[in-house]
Structure 1
Amino acid sequence: MAAHHSGIAVFGAGGRVGRAAVAEARRRGRAVTAAGRADGDVTDPGAVARLAAGHDAAIVSVHAPGAPPGDFFPAVARALAEGGLPAAGVKRLVAVGLASVLPTASGDLLMDTPGYPQEWREFYLGHGAGNEALRAAAPHTLDWLVLSPAGDFDHEGQPSGRYAFAPAAAGSRITPGDFARALLDEAEAPTLHRTPAGVAAG
């Protein structure tokens, strides 16, 4: 049976990943609402509900330079899950996460592996706290996924059109275009549910 699509709301559409997600949605002929910082506060459930109304799915790729990560990312998670998206009738959320808080093949979190940069640890921990807040706040009606590059983005390479789910690895790379393909695939036809996951070049 063909999936029904009535549109995708992209929060953080002004950023590099958000722009790639909007472009991929348009390439597929999907109705897409591109929401940037000026359109509404993603930590405000009312603003989230207003922007997400009438959409089946939401893709969220946001950060707030200058805001404490340990406050910002959990506040976003709660605004999305406790009031915003359920009030708008959105059933699927795909949020963009961070490889640092994903497990590696050995089971250790990437941020805890030898030699991994620690100067941004507060940012890593903020993302991790956001994931936990989402897990705690999401009602059973909201099917969520936190999708991260398994390592980092390759901003120079050309998209291959392929990707693979993978554990975190510091040397892993994926282009924003291929990552956007994974975001849209999971928004439209979910295969992963209520979990963080990593994506690498296929």
Structure 2
Amino acid sequence: MKIDIVSDVVCPWCIIGYRQLQQALEATGIEAEIHWHPFELNPDMPAEGEALRDHVMRKYGSSAEESEANRSRLVSIGAELDIDFKFDDTSHIRNTFDAHQLMHWADTLGRKNDLKQALFQAYFTEQLDVSDRQVLIDKAVSLGLDKEEATAVLEDQRYAETVRSNEQLWVSRGIQGVPAVILGEKYLLSGAQGVENFSAALKQVESETA
């Protein structure tokens, strides 16, 4: 089954949703071909980023207490899915345009999922700045990808137009938030649905396809 996932690497619900989907695929025994697609939660985020607590309070109108409670909830949910979320007063939201460009390059090498997972780990557990080109290059190299080519991809921005076009394509199809999971190019599931709901949807799509 082809599964398209529109997501951003600084979206906690994207990694949560992906892990839930993984468990659902294992539980149902359905084989899937995952295709990641770019989405920027904050395309206008400056290079220096923004403190996560301030960002959540400003963007969603949350209080400091609500923001803290949300992070605590994420930590608890993540623990059940083997995701080690790390949040503290230094946590920042980051610009991810370069990250999406590097992932597009990795996709041409069949390694996009590997880099996607490495960047989730870098941002949420290692608390690294995924807008920093050296961080991105280091993560690519850790996967055995070519350092010089990764550096060149970011320096010459050769995939900038392609990534922008892909982002606009999914927005034009009505995607306003992530994760957006499309099963079999027909059925859209928005958000982290939970293992049971993902399992039920997978079974339904498989039965209709058959």
TM over 0.5: no
The structure with the greater share of residues assigned to helix is 2
Higher normalized strand content (fraction of residues): 1
Q: TM-score, normalised by structure 1?
A: 0.28
Bigger radius of gyration among the two: 2
Higher relative contact order (CA 8 A, sep 6+): 2
